């Protein structure tokens, strides 16, 4: 298992390096001068030159790139160009809200998606199956931000059941604040996981060993939950990893709709103001989560299917 983890971490290094390179190049290709954006159009040439020198923007691009990689590798994110606040502090204050939203939304998606998929598979082409497929279609079709706006108007503004904005303080208050945004994200996740569970379980239920178990007189619940479901969970595990990453990226729009604190709000503001240190640190954080989620999925494979452990 340790050898598997080490191999996956080594494989992740080129991915992270490529992401960092693309971010560095993309930021430098954007039109406009960051010094002019920060200091304003009335800044003098001396002030602009001083700012570029302080931020290292006057150095040759290869040197800027090497300095950037070194700072990212040593977790030296620097200060925001706009507020001079340490970037690590900005990320540390806002990241927990994004992680909280992602985990709660994914948890709701799994909690409802897997049972829905099982229900649809064991009732193929009957009313429950039709209902689950219809829900999946609707869940895929409605954009997150639009559904979030509907939930906000209905349950927060009109009914007053949930807060309109903010992240809350204390565990239960934070859960109260996060529930409606998480439910918005979970609609698509539930539809995706439910449909994937249904498809995977139907495929496994047609295997020879399932028919053999039934021929031996095994109870239907035992056939489904003991023989079929565990083997059907491997594709679902892959889908869950992809869904988790999609939820993490989708949280950006939901944080803006519900006016929640989070890394998405910080990044959107930084991109608008060309705040290089904040953008770069935010991308590093997202790249780190991609590596962690992929590693977790690989380890989950080994738990779901012991044959993978033998191959590794």
What does the pLDDT read at residue 302? 63
Residue 72: CB partners within 8 Å, gap ≥ 6? 20, 280, 281, 284
What does the pLDDT read at residue 228? 75
For residue 252, being part of any structural domain is answered with yes
Tell me how far the alpha carbon of residue 101 is from its chain's centroid. Answer: 9
Crossing angle of helices 2-29 and 276-304, rounded to 10°: 150
For residue 29, being part of any structural domain is answered with no
What does the pLDDT read at residue 190? 87
Cβ–Cβ under 8 Å, residues 139 and 191: yes
Beta-carbon neighbour count of residue 228 at 10 Å?
A: 25
Give the number of domains in the chain: 1
The structure's pTM equals: 0.76
Helix (H, G, I), strand (E, B) or coil at 137: helix
Q: Which candidate, 312, 108, 121, places its Cα nearest to that of 232?
A: 121
Q: Which candidate, 240, 207, 204, 246, places its Cα nearest to that of 118?
A: 204
Q: Which two tokens stand for residue 247?
A: 């939820």
DSSP one-letter code for 33: -
- C-alpha span between 228 and 267 (Å, rounded): 44
CATH of the domain at 243: 1.10.3720.10
Encode the chain (312 residues) as per-residue pLDDT tens digits. 566 667 667 777 787 788 788 878 877 777 666 777 667 777 777 877 887 787 777 788 888 888 888 887 787 887 887 778 888 888 888 888 888 888 888 888 888 988 888 888 888 888 888 888 888 888 777 888 888 888 888 888 888 888 887 777 878 888 888 888 888 888 888 888 888 888 888 888 777 777 777 777 767 777 777 767 777 777 787 777 777 777 777 777 788 888 888 887 788 888 777 787 888 888 888 777 877 777 777 776 666 665 555 454
- For the chain, state the CA radius of gyration: 24
What residues make up the domain containing 162?
87-311
């Amino acid at each position: 298992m340790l050898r598997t983890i080490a191999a996956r971490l080594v494989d992740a290094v080129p991915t992270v390096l490529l992401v960092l390179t693309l971010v560095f190049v993309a930021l430098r290709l954007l039109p406009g001068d960051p010094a002019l954006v920060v200091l304003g159009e009335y800044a003098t040439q001396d002030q602009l030159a001083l700012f570029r020198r302080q931020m290292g923007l006057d150095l040759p691009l290869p040197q800027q790139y090497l300095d950037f990689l070194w700072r990212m590798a040593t977790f030296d994110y620097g200060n925001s160009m706009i507020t001079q606040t340490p970037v690590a502090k900005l990320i540390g204050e806002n990241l927990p809200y994004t992680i909280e939203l992602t985990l709660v939304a994914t948890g709701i998606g799994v909690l409802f998606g897997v049972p829905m998929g099982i229900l649809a598979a064991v009732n193929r082409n009957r009313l429950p199956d039709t209902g689950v497929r219809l829900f999946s279609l609707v869940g895929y079709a409605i954009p997150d931000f639009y559904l979030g706006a509907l939930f906000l108007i209905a349950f927060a503004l009109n009914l007053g059941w949930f807060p309109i904005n903010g992240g809350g303080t204390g565990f239960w208050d934070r859960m109260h604040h996060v529930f409606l945004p998480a439910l918005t994200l979970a609609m698509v996740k539930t539809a995706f996981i439910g449909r994937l569970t249904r498809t995977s379980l139907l495929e496994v239920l047609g295997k020879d060993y399932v028919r053999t178990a039934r021929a031996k007189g095994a109870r239907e619940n035992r056939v489904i939950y003991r023989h079929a479901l565990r083997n059907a969970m491997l594709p679902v595990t892959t889908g869950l990893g992809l869904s988790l990453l999609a939820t993490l990226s989708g949280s950006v729009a939901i944080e803006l709709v519900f006016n929640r604190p989070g890394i998405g709000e910080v990044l959107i503001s930084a991109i608008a103001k060309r705040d290089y240190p904040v953008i770069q640190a935010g991308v590093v954080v997202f790249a780190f989560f991609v590596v962690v989620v992929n590693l977790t999925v690989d380890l989950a494979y080994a738990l779901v299917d012991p044959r993978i452990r033998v191959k590794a």
